[in-house]
Structures are given as structure tokens and as C-alpha cells.
Structure 1
Amino acid sequence: MNPDSFDVVVVGAGPVGLACALEVQRRGLTAVVVDKGALVNSILGYPTNMEFFSTPELLEIGDHPFPTAHYKPLREDGIDYYHRVARAEKLNLRLYERVTGLEGDLGHYEVITEKARIACRYVVVATGFYDVPNYLHVPGEELPHVSHYYKEPYAHSHQDVVVVGAKNSSAKAALQLLRTGARVTMIIRGEEISQSVKYWIRPDLLNRIKEGRIKAYFHTTIQRITPEAVEVTTPEGPLSIPASYVYALTGYHPDFQFLADLGITCQTDLAQTPTHDAKTLETNRAGVYLAGTVCGGLNTSRWFIENGRYHAQVIAAHLAGQPAPELPEVLQPVQLTVETPAAHS
């Protein structure tokens, strides 16, 4: 076989992409995982020492135990675990190799990357959503002191920091920044801190706002960002808020343009759900499958590692011509609110 020819190309080296590759291999098919970044690149982008909301057994793939000293693993535990699984399964990885297109048809595809053309019979897209922020679309958003990703607070001690957003990532960042000595202001488009913020975080944040240690402006929109300030419109009128750094933590969404480049269409529903068969996960392009968070479109809370990992079993069984596996109730449809891109919700 041509060294650049496989039964399956998996696009995306996150936990679900790795699960897809190992399940395919266990059924006697050859697979390669291609990613434009590092192994589990999205987890690398998470805040330092971030705690997963799920317990270890819910993050496991391929029946590999996830030993950890913590009840809920930290970011670093997760990175180490998925690296160990990739090594144990001898997964064929092509990292830092961006996929740019897809040619051919069922059984005779070529995945085009920046470095090569990879022949394959099937393609699995497990690209998640973390790489594409929901932009504010305001002047100054491109300035170097504005970021859509929060890592750690230490560089901002004794500095003025603006945090945009009112959900989990914004809440945790604001609290960490406060406790490292930053002067924190939150800009929130809605009327309150989101009810979806974790139950042990939301009261903490509300109390810090009530004390005045964190300033929060509700029903407020950003007009522009300058090198020294964030200019906003509040219910009381315009205001200029000093800011040496701005964290616009307004969420993320799948790369719809990339899906379109692969020939995958999206529905006209509110979530812009990528077209796929709910039972087999095959898209409108025969032999091309979706796995993980990307299946939900803008509804980014529908799929995650905990339930998206089972997509690997569904796809692998379908490719191998085997009966659909018996899966847990976690895969059953549920009614969830769509997370649409917002200016700063």
C-alpha cells in the first residue's frame, strides 16, 4: 500500500479523534490522524491547572484507565492521559499539518494537506469548535492586548483587566484575576451572570461583585477597544473603562468554512447543524463522517468528550460493516439551548 494511503483519515487529534482512530484500528482498518496543531491541541489551550467538570472514568477512551490523584482531573492530567493512550495504541499521527481540502468520492478520497495528498476510503471529521472564537466585531479587537483565550492570571497583578462575558470561562477568569491582585471589570450584555455557571462558582462571583471587589456592568455593550481602555455604552450612558488587557471570553463555534471546503453542508436550523445521519454519523458526502462536538453546530453544549467519545464506536462499526453497538443513554437526543455567537453575552 502507498505509505500515504489509508482506510480512514481522521481530521482532528483531540480526544474524540483519537478514539475514532483507535476504534477503527481495532476493527482491522488502517487509520491516520491529521491535525493542524499539537496532540489534543484544544486542551493545551485550556487555562493552566483547569479542572475538568467530568470525573476520570467519563473521559476515558478505548477502555484505557485514567488514573489520577484528583477526583476531577486537571488539564495537565488530561494531556498526559491522551498522550499515553496515543502511544499505547501506536496511533499514526501527522501533527502540525493543516487539512485544506478533500477530493474524490466514496472509497477513492484524497485528503489534501499543506504537505501532502493522503489517499483514503473514508474520512472522519472530529475538529471540535475551540479554534474559532465568537468575535465581538468592534474596532480594536485585533489589538495585541485583546485575547479570546485565558491561560493564567499572574501577568496581570496590579493591572486593570476587562473580562467580557458572563459564563463559566469568564466567571473563573475574573475570580482568578481578582485573587492574583488584578483590578477586574466585567462587561456583560445581559442582565445577570449566567445561570449555567457552575454552582460552586456563581455564588462566589456574585458575592465578589456585591462587595465591589469586581466591578460588573450589565446591559452593557462594547463600542471600541483602544490601547488603554474599553469604551462601552451602559444604561446610564457611555463610559471609558481603563484596561491594560482584555479577555473577550464570548465562546467559540465550529469552523463552518472548513466544513464547506470539505463539501459538508449545514442545516438551516438555529444551530446551523452540519448535515449528518444521527444513527451512523455519515454526512451528506458519502463516506465522510462527523464525530464529537462538531456534530452540534452552534449548539456546543450538546456533545463533549463524555458522550462524543461514543461516536467513535458508532463510526467504526459502520465502516467495518458490523451491527451498531449498544450505547448508553448519554447518546440519546436531549433538548438543549443553542449557544449562538453573541457580541458579548
Structure 2
Amino acid sequence: MQTPKYTYDVIIIGGGPIGIACALEAEKKELSYLILEKGCLVNSLYHYPTNMTFFSTSEKLELNNIPFISNNPKPRKAEALEYYRRIATSNKININLFEKVSKVESIEDMHLVTTIKDQYQARNVVIATGFYDIPNYLNIPGEDLPKVAHYYDDPHYYATLKTIVVGASNSAVDAALEIYRKGGEVTMIVRKEEIGRRVKYWVRPDIDNRIKEGNIKALFNATLKEIREKEVIIETPEGEKSLENDFVLMLTGYRPNFEFLKNMGIKLSDDGRKIPQYDEKTMETNVKGIYLAGVICGGTETHKWFIENSRVHAELIMEDLAKKKQA
């Protein structure tokens, strides 16, 4: 195999907010870098629901002290897309879009990064791929039917129809409320006895009241057992129920690509949480020269890391890389 013609101090896999933060810090430290993103700029954010409102304020979503001006107390998806796009374009971030990484190999003190288009060589690699790519499947009959979706975009699609929403997190609650307000008939299937405790505090009274008054139906301590063409089978404390319906939204969360990490030799905890092994002071994993940044650090606990508390990962990583380069 020929030596790749592209060599960098660091390759950043993932072009989301944290990947961009890593690029900005690399420039400060005069480190050569390249971001490789499998989709569009801030791809995961782009695929969030159209009307999504962030939990964080705009100040906590800022990168590199670049002001994020929002018209709302909590910024919306469209504002965030504009903010991160302007950062990328005005700073001329070095990023290849729609170039998925298929493999990372460690060869002595270098790393060979293979994508669907090319190969690159880097002294270091940062994994900032997030967690939004792989849904948590229930693995039940009918989950692959056309009426089933694991991602939600716009409520208009479900207007006047019967929609089952599985889950009780922020995404499930937002979808249920929006679809109800567009004239959809919504039934929530909630595995526990109440709506999730981490639901946005300004939204929780809304969903609780809509359920209480009966405008949104909710089955608690219930699980979806089977999906059929025109109905679903639900296991409840009172026994099985059959509900006629048109669509099923399986908003049961998402997880990082653990196989991608393991194939690089990164160790994961064996306690079910699959937390990757890394040094909290530098973010370097057990594989020399491979670093983690962002939500991927939390394993299955995807609620632990957000933009606001993982921006610092970029500084820790690039500080360590700069020290290594000077040594």
C-alpha cells in the first residue's frame, strides 16, 4: 500500500459543534488538521426535528467565545445551524463533507484513516462522532414496517392520523405535543410510571396537563410488543391491548457506534454502560494518539455530555497535542 499523500498533525472525525471546536483549537496551536464528516456540516443537528428548541441557552452553545445571538431565550435548530455554519465558513474550517470514515489503523506512531473517497495519515485522531446515528431498537415483530420511524422531523406529516409515540424523553414529548397541536391523535407508550424526569422543565407541565385532560393518551408501565399493518399490540398491567393506528414513532434514544471504537482497539467498560477508556486530563484513549471528544465519552449514558459541558474537550486535546509536538 502506498503512503497516503495527505499527512496531518490531527484528523478530527465528526463535523458537529465539538468537531468544529477541536478545529478552532488546532488552529490556535498551529496544528495541521482535517475534519472528516460523513454527512453535511453539523450533520446530527441538521437531522434534529424542525422545531427543536435547545435545553441550553445560546451562551452555553458558543464556541471560541464567538457570540451566539438568538431571538429566543432558548435557541432553535435553525438558529444553531446558522451559527455553526457561519463559524465554519468565516474561519475557513478545513473540512471534507460527505466523506465517511470506514477504518482507522494505528501503524507505529501514525494513524491511517480510510474513507469512502481516500486515505489520510495523521499523527493523532480525534473521535467526535456523537451518538445520533444508531437508534435503540426494540427488536420486536413489525419494527421494520414502513409505518415505523426512529426519527421525527415535522408534525404536519402526522396531521389527522393516529400516531403511537414510544418513549418519554424530550424527543418523544416534543413530538407528542407538536403532533397533537397539528390535529393528530397521539398515544404515548411509556415503559415507566411517569414521563421522563429529564424532560425540559418548561415542557413538562404542558405534557402532564395534556395527558391529564385526555387530549394526549398515555399508557404507563407499558411496552410495545408487536407492530402490525393497521394496529399495534401493547403489553400493559391490565393485559394486552390492541390499538388501531397509522404511524409509530420509536423515540427510544440513540447510541454511539461502539463497533467503530472497538475496531480501533479502544476499550469499553463491561458494566453495560460501554464507557470508553480515556484519560480525563487529556482525553486520550488507551490507544496512543487516539482521542475522544463530546458525547461519545459517555458510552450508553448519552445524557451526560452536551455541547455546553464538552466544549472543554477541544482545549484539553489540542493542548496535549501541542506539548507532544514540541517534545
TM bracket, shorter-chain basis: over 0.9
- Report the Cα distance in structure 2 between the residues aligned to 1:106 and 1:181, rounded to whole angstroms: 60
| Matched-pair contact (CA < 8 Å) for 2:173–2:207 | yes
2:232 aligned to 216, 230, 233, which one? Answer: 230
Letter in 1 for 2:37: D
Residue 101 of structure 1: aligned partner: 103
Residue 314 of structure 1: aligned partner: 316
Residue 133 of structure 1: aligned partner: 135
Residue 285 of structure 2: aligned partner: 283
| Matched-pair contact (CA < 8 Å) for 1:20–1:312 | yes
Residue 167 of structure 1: aligned partner: 169
Residue 274 of structure 1: aligned partner: 276
Identical columns (%): 48
Letter in 1 for 2:194: E
- Report the Cα distance in structure 2 between the residues aligned to 1:35 and 1:219, rounded to whole angstroms: 40
- Report the Cα distance in structure 2 between the residues aligned to 1:262 and 1:18, rounded to whole angstroms: 22
Residue 87 of structure 1: aligned partner: 89
- Report the Cα distance in structure 2 between the residues aligned to 1:133 and 1:216, rounded to whole angstroms: 22
1:204 aligned to 206, 222, 230, which one? Answer: 206
- Report the Cα distance in structure 2 between the residues aligned to 1:106 and 1:175, rounded to whole angstroms: 54
- Report the Cα distance in structure 2 between the residues aligned to 1:214 and 1:24, rounded to whole angstroms: 49
| Matched-pair contact (CA < 8 Å) for 2:55–2:200 | no
Residue 220 of structure 2: aligned partner: 218
Letter in 2 for 1:208: R
Instruction: Using the TM superposition, give the Cα deviation of residue 107 of structure 1 relative to its aligned residue in structure 2, in angstroms.
Output: 3.4
- Report the Cα distance in structure 2 between the residues aligned to 1:107 and 1:274, rounded to whole angstroms: 21
Instruction: Using the TM superposition, give the Cα deviation of residue 105 of structure 1 relative to its aligned residue in structure 2, in angstroms.
Output: 3.5
- Report the Cα distance in structure 2 between the residues aligned to 1:2 and 1:189, rounded to whole angstroms: 50
Letter in 2 for 1:147: A
Residue 120 of structure 2: aligned partner: 118
- Report the Cα distance in structure 1 between the residues aligned to 2:88 and 2:5, rounded to whole angstroms: 20
* Cα deviation code 1:107-157 (max 9, x no counterpart): 321101111110111000001111111111101111122111111110111
Instruction: Using the TM superposition, give the Cα deviation of residue 308 of structure 1 relative to its aligned residue in structure 2, in angstroms.
Output: 0.8
What TM-score, normalized by structure 1, do the two folds share?
0.90
Counterpart check, 1:62 vs 2:75:
no
Residue 145 of structure 1: aligned partner: 147
- Report the Cα distance in structure 2 between the residues aligned to 1:272 and 1:103, rounded to whole angstroms: 21
Letter in 2 for 1:243: N
Instruction: Using the TM superposition, give the Cα deviation of residue 2 of structure 1 relative to its aligned residue in structure 2, in angstroms.
Output: 6.9
Unaligned runs of 5+ in 1: 323-345
Q: Taking structure 1 as reference, are residues 57 and 195 closer, same or farther at Cα in structure 2, changes over 3 Å only? A: same
- Report the Cα distance in structure 2 between the residues aligned to 1:194 and 1:138, rounded to whole angstroms: 23
* Cα deviation code 1:307-343 (max 9, x no counterpart): 1111000000000018xxxxxxxxxxxxxxxxxxxxx
Residue 20 of structure 1: aligned partner: 22
- Report the Cα distance in structure 2 between the residues aligned to 1:269 and 1:232, rounded to whole angstroms: 30
Unaligned runs of 5+ in 2: none
Letter in 2 for 1:160: K
* Cα deviation code 1:154-186 (max 9, x no counterpart): 011110000001121111111111110001111
| Matched-pair contact (CA < 8 Å) for 1:57–1:66 | yes
Q: CA RMSD in A?
A: 1.5
- Report the Cα distance in structure 2 between the residues aligned to 1:125 and 1:199, rounded to whole angstroms: 32
- Report the Cα distance in structure 2 between the residues aligned to 1:195 and 1:50, rounded to whole angstroms: 19
Letter in 1 for 2:315: Q
Instruction: Using the TM superposition, give the Cα deviation of residue 71 of structure 1 relative to its aligned residue in structure 2, in angstroms.
Output: 2.0
- The number of residues matched between the two structures is 322
